[in-house]
Amino acid sequence: MKELFHIKFLENNDLLIVVSLIFGILTFASVLFYVIGKIKPKANLKELKARTKSWWFMATIFILATIVNTNISYIAIAFLSFVAFRELYSLLGFRNSDRRAIFWAFISIPIQYYLAFIGWYGAFIIFIPVVMFLILPLRLVLKGNTNGIVKSMSLLQWTLMLTVFGISHMAYLLSLPEIDGFNSGGRGLLLFLVFITEINDVMQFTWGKLLGKNKIIPKISPNKTWEGFIGGLISTTIIGYFLGFLTPLPTIQIIFVSFMIAFSGFVGDIVVSSIKRDIGVKDTGNSIPGHGGVLDRIDSLAYTAPVFFHLVYYLAY
Amino acid sequence: MRKITLKIIYSFLVRWFLKLVVGVKFDNAKFLLNETQFIILANHNSHLDTMALLASLPSNIIHKVKPVAAGDHFGKTKLKGKLTEFFVNALLIKRGRDKENPANDPINKMIKALDNGYSLILFPEGTRGEPEIDQPLKKGIGLILEQRPKIKFVTAYMKGMGKAMPKDDNLIVPFNSTLIYGKPTLVISKNVSEIMNQIENEFTKLRIKTTDNNP
């Protein structure tokens, strides 16, 4: 029982403070949207509500990692990858003859997360970009249907990279070795990543609503403005500075890393938006009702996770 | 015993497997509790279809709903037939009419099941055919509703399951799929071809609904 629960968590004030802060903010947001929804039934809060819901999910993964058991969060993040991969590939219009290769791509998900779990960095970092990159085309070739095979090879690899390889860096944070004098560990880093990515989304949205005038890329994301983007960058970097105690980094590096999370979060957001735009416009016949859930939820994390991981890995480990 | 077995299998095991692993999004089927008896008419692409339909039902009526299956396929051996009847609660029928032996005639068998109080799940397209392509409806359902016009029919439309598990391939590859229900409807005519038109229209409505809600 003692092994299952991190009793130490209760003594670790750093984590406890931030976790309470997150749940406080989330509760506040949920109540706020609920009240606004009651007062103004016409207000369009669908997007905001979906976002809050997804952050509840992320926060719960983290709380499981800290209070209950770190192993559960490996499984939860792997499941997130699985659902995201399934959702994206289902929309991309693969051929029937790709099914065997897709099956192997699914099999690679538990393997990738197992490598993260045992902390075998060398294998973790090459498994999808090298091993799967070489194996999947072979499986497609063995099936023998060359009509459209290049498209399938590229799509499959790219989908794996975005939804599995990128996201799995969140899990590897938990496997990073202990550093003397830094007791939040991988859990602190994961919390920092998720919280900063979340706050960046919120900040960009808020600044955009308050001051937004000049659109950055109206063709892809009409709601994205320069004011929101820059406001988000600045406020996220400042918040990152104050939460720096969750990382083992010195101040100047914390500022740089927070800035990079804010920037790459924005990039992830617009990249996934452009995908949805492409699918929504081109292949309406192939898509499925009530869709687009998980993809929206992992958009910024798919970019911030690997960027943050490799910066920290280079700077501190 | 059987009731509990079916409940555990479909409302729990199959339902969660389809939801979490395969990625099936179920429509709410609670409205079926308001009907004493019904015939579910569904498009057919995959072996998963019957599983998904049974798993979508409210758990306390599963044992009262019989999916209709082809006897030549699922009843190939006696054991296979018995297993299908027990675990899928299936009603095995011949594919063609049987004029000489009325007790073995598929239409009569289905009507008998209805008269015994069972609801039915029917695939009016007949076989699964090419994955994800709709096929013309067979008129057996028209003949049944002609004789039992008081029973409501409910259309169900499934999308994606033919990709998760197509015909001739027993490997399940998860694929985000959906199952949506139409409204319980009474036939408006006593003429078989008009009944078939009505059913066709109900299917078209659902088909439009699946393409309307694009992301």
Please provide the DSSP assignment of A93-114 as one string: ---GGGHHHHHHHHHHHHHHHH
Which of A96, A103, A291 has its CB closest to that of B166?
A: A96
State whether A100 and B171 contact (CB < 8 Å): yes
**Residue found by looking up tokens 């015909």 in the block:** B167
Chain B residues 154-173 with a CB less than 8 Å from chain A: 159-160, 163, 166, 169, 171, 173
Q: B178 CB near a chain A CB, below 8 Å?
A: yes
Q: How many CB atoms lie within 10 A of CB A22?
A: 21
- Residue A307 φ then ψ, to 5°: -65, -50
Chain B residues 107-146 with a CB less than 8 Å from chain A: 131
- CB contacts of A276 in chain B (<8 Å) are 215
pLDDT computed for residue B212 by the predictor: 57
pLDDT per residue as tens digits for the range A91-103: 888 999 999 999 9
pLDDT computed for residue A289 by the predictor: 36
Q: pTM of this prediction? A: 0.88
Q: Which of A72, A49, A296 is nearest to A174 (CA)?
A: A72
Please give the Cα distance from A13 to A17 (Å, whole number).
6
ipTM of the complex: 0.88
- CB contacts of A103 in chain B (<8 Å) are 171, 173
What is the torsional sign of CA A295, A299, A305, A307?
A: positive
State whether A90 and B160 contact (CB < 8 Å): yes
pLDDT tens-place values along chain B, 215 residues long: 888 999 999 999 999 999 999 999 898 999 999 999 999 999 998 989 999 999 999 998 999 999 998 888 888 888 988 888 888 999 998 888 887 888 888 899 999 999 999 999 999 988 777 777 778 888 889 999 999 999 999 999 999 999 999 887 889 999 999 999 999 999 998 888 999 999 999 999 998 887 754 43
Q: How far is B169 from chain A (nearest CA, A)?
A: 10
State whether A106 and B178 contact (CB < 8 Å): no
- Residue B38 φ then ψ, to 5°: -155, 165
Rounded (5°) CA angle A305-A66-A308: 15
Q: How far is A87 from chain B (nearest CA, A)?
A: 6
Highest mean pLDDT among A18-32, A38-52, B11-25: B11-25
Highest mean pLDDT among A140-149, A181-190, A210-219: A140-149
